[in-house]
Structure 1
Amino acid sequence: MDYLVFCRDRPDTGELLASLLERHWSFMDGYADRLKARGPTLSADGEEHTGSLHIVDLAIPEEVEVFAYREPFYAAGAYADVMIRRWENLLDRSMWDYRTDSDDPMFLVIAHAGAPIAEIADMHRSFAARHLSRTVVYGSMRMPEGGEWAGFAAVLQMPSREDVEKIVADDPVITSSAIAHHEIHRWEMGGRR
């Protein structure tokens, strides 16, 4: 089963993260064949690490706990919080399958569920269809226990944050009661260079 693990950094952890980078990459090497996406969220100027996103195939709940809480950044206290959601990959691809010649930045959009609405599945898929050529990964989030719909997440490659904000403002799913709130983060593909 795929899981989305999103972690937010504590303030002023840049030096700690830098000192643990090789340990983090070595830990992730153990999941290399199961990762669908990985990479840091960044400050608006792209200079500072603010968190991380991993989408990974994990077989049992104990594996989820190990992946999220034994990861070196988390174990050293670099993260303020961790969000874990089951992931339904609506594009049936990983970030490595995404092809582009663009140098435009990438942005992670996380839309957290609000009131459920019956037609959400069709509306939800329409978001991806309109932006498919610029969508790195896209999927539905569900709660780990019980499987209730928890919203969706997408990584989009766009010229600017303002372009992403316009897409979000025009999207009928995000602006409906189905979404309680959303967040947009600068993001880049991670892993060893």
Structure 2
Amino acid sequence: MLYFVYTADRPGSSALREELVEAHWAYMDGFEFHARGPTLSDDGETATGSLHIVDLPSDGAARAFVTEEPNWRAGVYAAMQIFRFEDLVGRTMWEFPGPEGERFLVTGAAGEPVGDGVIVHGRLRGLDDGAVHGFAACVQAPDADAAARTVRDGRDLTVRPWCFGGRR
């Protein structure tokens, strides 16, 4: 089953994140991903969080995935969100046919990303009840405003700069 995991960095944790990068990647090497990578500051220079769309056997395994991760254990992350991810595109980020470009994580209460720039897209469902809590999409667009415009009927959108991450 696929899970959407987003962790937001604790302010001032950049040095600790850099110190733990190899431990983080080594931990992640044991999992299968549809997408992964850091969200970034608006200037694209500083990590602000981490996105993982990961294949795990259960809700408990999804919770353990985060709490056992080296960055979480060391205090890099301030908060986490975990949802079941209902894949609506059917490909991983590595299968995205588009050329390199600016990439964004777009989340919202409602909306449907459309167009050639959609990398991955899915509904976010609650762990305990399976209720729909919104959507998440990774998109390629010229800028954040254009990324938001890729969402038809979008509501309560959050757009974060994002890039492919980790080792493949």
TM-score interval for Structure 1 and Structure 2 normalised by the shorter chain: over 0.9
CA distance in 1, matches of 2:149, 2:88: 22
Q: What residue identity is the alignment partner of 2:135? A: F
1:185 maps to 2:168:
no
Deviation, structure 1 residue 161: 1.3
In the alignment, is residue 142 of structure 1 matched against residue 136 of structure 2?
no
Measured after TM superposition, the shift of residue 167 of structure 1 is 3.7
| Deviation, structure 1 residue 17 | 0.1
Q: Which residue of 1 aligns with 2:142?
A: 159
Q: Deviations over 1:58-113 (max 9, x none)?
A: 10233112211110111101111000000000001111110222x32101001136
Gaps of at least 5 residues in structure 1 are: 114-123, 176-180
Unaligned runs of 5+ residues in structure 2 are none
The answer as to whether partners of 2:148 and 2:157 remain within 8 angstroms in 1 is: no
Output the aligned Cα RMSD. Answer: 1.5
Greater helix content: 1
Number of the residue aligned with 1:77: 75
| Higher strand residue share | 2
Runs of 4+ aligned residues of structure 1 deviating over 6 Å after TM superposition are none
Whose radius of gyration is greater, 1 or 2?
1
The CA distance in 2 between the partners of 1:142 and 1:95, in whole Å, is: 20
The one-letter code sitting in structure 2 at the alignment partner of 1:148 is A
| Shift in Å, 1:4 | 0.3
Say yes or no: does 1:2 pair with 2:2: yes
Deviations 1:117-157 (A, max 9, x none): xxxxxxx5xx34x31x1111100110011100110000110
Alignment of 1:9-24 (within 5 A): 9-24=9-24
